[in-house]
Amino acid sequence: MSDGDSVAVEINGDRIRVRLACIDAPELAQDPVGTAARDRLKQLLPLGSVVRLRTIAEDRYGRTVAEVFYQEQNLNLQLVREGYAVVYRQFLEGCDRDAYFSVELEARQKKLGLWQSSEPVMPWNFRRGR
């Protein structure tokens, strides 16, 4: 895992990069929330875990874009629910918009993760500002 919204998965002996669909996690340089997002994804998905992917697309970097399920839990939704990621508004095609926005609102109201800040910087704005 390099960050909070991508993982490496082995399929039939081939290692592929998977970008978690419909969410955007803070960049590692957005400390401390970026590191916390990566660490939480590592906790939710221990090394060697067997996962199920619901593939949505392939991105411009050749990564599989998918919802990742571990023990029937949608990890993409869970990261948003806990405030470690936000809904990636421009890339919601193929996802349950209502579910994602609902858990994001819940995290925001509870001031979880990046919502602890009174003025959280969205990952896409952080990348643009570099």
State how far the alpha carbon of 5 is from the alpha carbons of 19, 69, 86, 103, 108, in Å. Answer: 6, 13, 10, 17, 19
Q: Which of 17, 63, 89, 108 is catalytic?
A: 63
Q: Which of 10, 17, 19, 60 is catalytic?
A: 19
104 given a catalytic annotation: no
72 given a catalytic annotation: no
- Look at the alpha carbons of 12, 91, 118, 98 in this order and tell me if their dihedral is positive or negative: negative
Q: Which of 10, 15, 17, 27 is catalytic?
A: 27
Is the peptide bond prior to 123 cis by the omega test (within 30 degrees of 0)? no
19 given a catalytic annotation: yes
What φ, ψ does residue 14 adopt, rounded to 5°?
Answer: -100, 135
The phi-psi region of residue 22 (left if phi > 0; otherwise alpha if psi is between -120 and 50; otherwise beta) is left
Q: Which two tokens stand for residue 56?
A: 């949505």
Q: Which residues are catalytic?
A: 19, 27, 63
